[in-house]
Amino acid sequence: MDNLKILIERNATEISRLRKRIHETVRHRRSSAQQNDEWIRACADFHARYDQLAFPGGYFGAPARLLAGDQTTTEAALCFLEVRPYFFRSGYMYQELLRKLKRAPLTSEQKARLGQVILRQAAWKAQRATSRR
């Protein structure tokens, strides 16, 4: 479990690095053909690696695997929610994984872990609402 959490954190850092590279190269893409090629490579690298980096085992198809009861995906999803990584589209992924996990077949230990995630999210929302007043 800890190794999976470390992997999720490292992958989030790599996604952010790849996305930053796109933003750094986009400014100069019209300067020369070489600069444009560098921007194209940055975009291609990001898109080619995103699925595997975003979620262990790949994100596309993960929600369906969760509902089907795949335990490897369930563990990865729980770790993802516990780590709450920050990268491009991670908030959307968090919400979708949370919704799917609520309907997925879980062990009693997994239900307890999910309950802790839900409590943490509720506390965060309450704090946020209080600070906005």
pLDDT of 124: 87
Whether pLDDT at 133 is above 90: no
The boundaries of the domain holding residue 70 are 2-131
**Helix locations, the chain, DSSP H:** 2-26, 33-54, 62-67, 71-83, 90-103, 108-131
Mean pLDDT of 75-87: 97
pLDDT in tens, 27-44: 999 999 999 999 999 999
pTM of full prediction above 0.75 = yes
* Main-chain dihedrals φ then ψ at residue 79, nearest 5 degrees: -65, -40
Cα–Cα distance for residue pair 39/28, rounded to 1 Å? 8
User: Looking at residue 87, what DSSP letter applies?
Assistant: S
Cα–Cα distance for residue pair 1/4, rounded to 1 Å? 5
The total of structural domains in the chain comes to 1
Cα dist from 88 to 19, 53, 63, 92, 102, whole Å: 8, 11, 18, 9, 24
